[in-house]
Amino acid sequence: MKNATTPPITTRGPADHEVRDQIVAAATEHFSRYGYEKTTVSDLARAIGFSKAYIYKFFESKQAIGEMICANCLHEIETEVRAAIAQTDLPPEKLRRMFSVFTEASLRLFFQDRKLYEIAASAATENWQAVVSYEARVQKLLQDILQEGRQSGDFERKTPLDETAMAIYLVMRPYLNPMLLQYSFDYTKVAPAQLSSLVLRSLSP
């Protein structure tokens, strides 16, 4: 084990954001392997080779680190989804991709590669800000696609836009939200296609 050291941060060293990134990367690795709940900041400090005090210079609590990991993870999912959507101009196809890529990416980032399930559980239970703003951005993305499809004539315009968007968001929610997703593993293969077909039938002009 390395000695716990407190690098002198007043001299020319790595920038603050680099140290923060380094801590987050090491913490992601550590939580993925040993779990979030049982790990303390001391455990984490020992594993990274930093002093606990040094970590506390950058993050006020374990939760603050957890929130950063969660935010990064959600950001990656969102980036994948936006990239997949940008590859097509057809609103119905955008909607299909939104559904399937959200499901695949969430499964992969929360359960397969990283096992960040416990962080997701805390995030959902304690209503972390990263999750709240992620959900708002997903709803906005959905509204934009719907708006586009209404303009192109692909989607009906009678139902109020926010009502349609909210209902579709609720249909997607079990495959977006890791707490629901963990009980939906049996359906992740078929659900995105079947549910987007249902949603598209509901949108037909």
- The reply on whether position 164 binds its own copies by CB under 8 A is yes
Rounded Cα distance, 90 and 99, in Å: 14
Taking the complex as a whole, the smallest distance from the CB of residue 106 to its own copies amounts, in Å, to 14
10 Å CB burial of residue 123 (0-12, 13-18, 19+) is: buried
Binding residue for its own copies, selected from 22, 72, 156, 157, defined by CB under 8 A: 156
- Binding status of residue 202 toward its own copies by CB under 8 A: yes
Using the 8-state DSSP alphabet, how is residue 110 labeled? I
Phi/psi zone of residue 160: left (φ > 0), alpha (ψ -120 to 50 degrees), beta? beta
Candidate segments 12-20, 34-42, 136-144, 168-176, binder of its own copies by CB under 8 A: 168-176
**Under a CB-based contact definition with an 8 Å cutoff, are residues 193 and 100 in contact?**
yes
Kindly state whether residue 111 participates in binding its own copies, applying the rule CB under 8 A: no
Confirm or reject binding of residue 17 to its own copies (CB under 8 A): no
Q: Which is nearer to its own copies, 17 or 201 (CB)?
A: 201
- Calpha distance 65→55 (Å, rounded): 10
The site for its own copies (CB under 8 A) is made up of 124, 156, 159, 163-164, 166-168, 170-171, 173-174, 177, 179-180, 183-184, 187, 190-191, 194-195, 197-199, 201-203
